[in-house]
Amino acid sequence: MTIGQARELTSKTLVDLPEDFSGMAAFKRQKTHDYTRYEQGVDYVFEAIEPNGAKGYLTCQGKGVKQGDYVILRQSDAIIRYRIERIDYYSSPSDMWIALLVQSWLEQGFFE
């Protein structure tokens, strides 16, 4: 459809939306933080806690990172997206944190 064109709305076009959008609002607040240009062991440390790397701890610096956000890391030749399950900030420096990451299977390989 191009600008200026209209299409007829049918009953199949309309969607029933819940009255409470709090779940959608939380989803929209999630951010993706791209660390693929950073170097493992220098700019951040990722420690796998499962043999396949599906779960691990990431120690890094950066402001505005929170639970529920996503982090993209380069692992060998793959680019993998992880979801932040839990995050704890250090007191000094205040922008340093450690997070429990869980691989986001639907997004694995998406950026390759």
* 3-state SS assignment for residue 60: strand
Model pTM?
0.68
pLDDT of residue 46: 95
Q: Which two tokens stand for residue 25?
A: 């609002």
Measured CA to CA, the distance from residue 48 to residue 53 in angstroms comes to 5
Q: What is the three-class DSSP state of 106?
A: helix
Q: 98 with 91: CB under 8 angstroms?
A: no
Residue 51's pLDDT is 82
**Is the Cα dihedral 52, 105, 57, 49 positive or negative?**
negative
Confidence band of 111 (pLDDT split at 50, 70, 90): very low
